[in-house]
Amino acid sequence: MRRYLKELRWFKSLQNKILFVFFLLILPLGLLLVYYNFYASEVIRNQVAHSNANVLSMYLGTLDRELEDIDKYLFNLIAKEPDLLALDRPEDNDAEAYNLARIRIHNKLATDAVYYDRIGMFFVYSQRNGDLISAYNQQMTYPEQHRLKSELTALFAQDLSGYTGRNLWFLHQEGDSPSLYRMIRYGNVLIGALMSMEHLMAPFEAADLGNGGRFVLVNEQDRPVQANPALEEEGIEFHAPDGAYRMEGKRDSYMVVSKDSSKGAFRVAALIPDRQIMENIPYLHRIVTMIVAGTLIVLPIVYFFLRRMVLVPMKRLVTAMRKIKSGDWETRIDPNASSDEFSMINETFNTMATQIKELKIHVYEEQLHNQKTELKHLQLQMNPHFFLNSLNIIYHLAQVRNFELIQEMSLSLVQHFRYMFRSSGSLVPLREEIEHTRNYVRIQELRFPARLTASVTVEDSCIEALVPPLVCQTFVENAIKHAVSMDSPLQITVKAYVEWEDPHWIWLDIRDTGKGFDEEVLSKLSEGVDIGDERGNHIGIWNIQRRVRLMYEEEDAGVYLSNAIDRGAVVQIRLPMKVRETKGAESDVSSAAGG
C-alpha cells in the first residue's frame, strides 16, 4: 500500500495529503450521518408498513368473515330450500306450483336480507325460464335497486361458466361503479349475492391513513376497479408481497401495502404518502443538516488557517528548491515568515544555497579535469589493442610470402595508425571515421580473401557530423574477430544516416551475418559491465560505450546492441548532430561533449 501511494504524484504534495486527511475524517462522518438518516427512515417506513398491514389485515379479515357467512347462507339455502327444484323445471309444466315456489323464495330472501346489512341484493335466477328473483337491502334506494338489477340482467346475458366454476367472490363492472358478486350454480338455477362498492369499502373508511392516504380496491389484473387519473399518472404498481411494502410514484412517493382477500378474487391496497410518513422525523433531518452545514463551514476555515501558516511557506520553500535544482543559484527566500520555525528554515536554506554554489563550482572544475583524464586513458588503452591485431595480420601475410600484399598491407597500416595517433581528440568528422573504417576493412579483406565482404554507405547530410574516433571501426573489428570462419563468408554492412523524425540526431548502424553476440555477453554489455578479459576480448566495445556516456550528457545518446532475427549481430549508435563550422566552434563542441 505504501509503495502504491508513493507512485501517486498527487499524493506526494503536502497540501494534497492534508486535504486527504480531512477527507478521511469527514467522509466516514458524512457516510455515518447519511446511513443513520437512511436507517431511521427505513425503520419508520417499516413500522408504518407493519402498522398499516395490521390494520389492513384486520378490516379485510372482517370483510372476509362477512363474505364467508354469506357463502354459508347461500349453500344452506341450496341444501334446505326445495322450491329451488321447481325453478329448475319449465314454468309451463305447472305454472301455479312454479309461481308459489317463486313467491316463497322471494319472501325468504327478503326476510333474510335484513340480517345482512352490507349485502345489496340476494338473487335467484332460473336460466331455463329466464326469471330473476331478487331481494334488496332495505336501506337501498329505488335508483340503486334498478341499477343493480340492470347490471345483473346484463351479466346473465354473458357466458357465466367462468364465474360459477370458481368458489370465490368476483368483481364485475357494467356501469360507472363496480360490484362484488357471488354466484353458485344449482342445476339450471343460479343462486347468489351482490355487494356494492360503497358497502364493500365501508369498513375501511374508519381507518386513518393520513392526509392523502387511501385504500384502493384492486382486481385480479392489479388494476384499481375505480378510475383515478392522479394514480394513473403516478404509474403506481398496487401489488406488494404480504408483510412487506414497496415505494411507488413518479412525482409523489407512496408506500404501497396490499393484502389478498381469502374469499374473493381481489385485493385491497393501502396507499400512504411518503411525506406523511416522514413528517414525524423533522428534528432528525434538522440535526443532520446542521452537522453537515457546520462541517462544511468549519472545514474551509481550518484549511485556510493551515494554508496560510504551513502550506504557503512550504510552497515558497519548494519553489526555491526547484529553481536551485534547475541551476538558478541566485535564488533566496525572504527570512521573514509566519512562524519562527519557518524563519529558521529560510535562513538555513539561504546559507546552504550559498555554500552549495561555491562547492559546485569547485566540484565541476574537478569533474572536467577527471573526465579529460579518463578519456585520454581510454584512447591509450585502445591503441595497443589495434597494434597487436595489426602485427598479427602482417605475421600471417609474411608466412605466405606474398610481398605485394605485404606492401599494400603496410601502406594501409600506415594510414590506419596515422589516423589512430592523430585522433586523440574528442571528436572527428564522420567522413574521416568512414574512410578509416573502409581502410580497415580493406586490410581485413586482404587477410581473408573470398571470406569477407563489406558495404559502407553514408548519407551526404551527415558526412561532416562530429563523432567519437574509432566508433565504427571498433565494432567492424569485433565482427571480423568473432564472426569470420572457414565455413561461410561474412557480410558486414555499415550505414550512417540522419534520423527521419528528428534531424538533430544521426544513427550509425553496423550489422554482420555471423553468429551474433553471446546472450551472457549481450546482457552484461547492455548493463554497462566491463567484460574485457586478459586477452583483450570485448574491451573495444566496452571502451566505446564508456566514451559515449562520458562525452554526451543527452540521455537519448547511446550504444544499443542486439542480435538480428535471422542471424548476426546488430549495433546501433545514436549521436547528436554536431558539425564543425570554425575552429572556435570545434573547441566549443568538444568542451560541450566533455572532452
The predicted structure's pLDDT at residue 434: 93
Kindly tell me if the per-residue pLDDT of 460 is higher than 70.
yes
What pLDDT does 589 receive? 37
Predicted pLDDT at 175: 66
Residue 2 has pLDDT above 80, yes or no: no
pLDDT, tens digit, 9 for 90 and up, residues 275-308:
777 765 666 666 767 777 777 787 778 777 777 7
Reduce the DSSP state of residue 333 to 3 states and report it: coil
Q: Is the pLDDT of residue 260 over 80?
A: yes
User: How many Å apart are CA 587 and CA 582, to the nearest integer?
Assistant: 9
Instruction: Compute the average pLDDT of residues 338-361.
Output: 78
Residues 6+ apart with CB under 8 A from 110: 135
- Chain position carrying cell 438518516: 37
Half-sphere exposure of 558 (CA within 13 A, CB side): 9
Looking at the DSSP bridge assignments, the partners of residue 195 are: 180
User: What's phi and psi for 232, nearest 5 deg?
Assistant: -65, -40
pLDDT tens for residues 34-91?
776 777 777 777 888 788 888 888 888 888 888 899 999 999 998 888 888 888 888 8
CB atoms within 10 A of CB 459: 14
* CA dihedral of residues 448, 450, 452, 453 (deg, nearest 10): 140
Share of the chain above pLDDT 90, in %: 10
In this prediction, residue 91 carries a pLDDT of 86
Q: What are 379-430's pLDDT values in tens digits?
A: 555 556 556 666 776 777 788 777 787 788 788 878 877 877 665 557 889 9
The pLDDT of residue 491 is 92
**H or E segment at 560?**
strand 558-563
195-241 pLDDT per residue, tens: 888 778 877 777 777 777 888 888 887 788 877 777 777 777 777 67
From the list 459, 496, 493, 476, the residue with the least C-alpha distance to 573 is 496
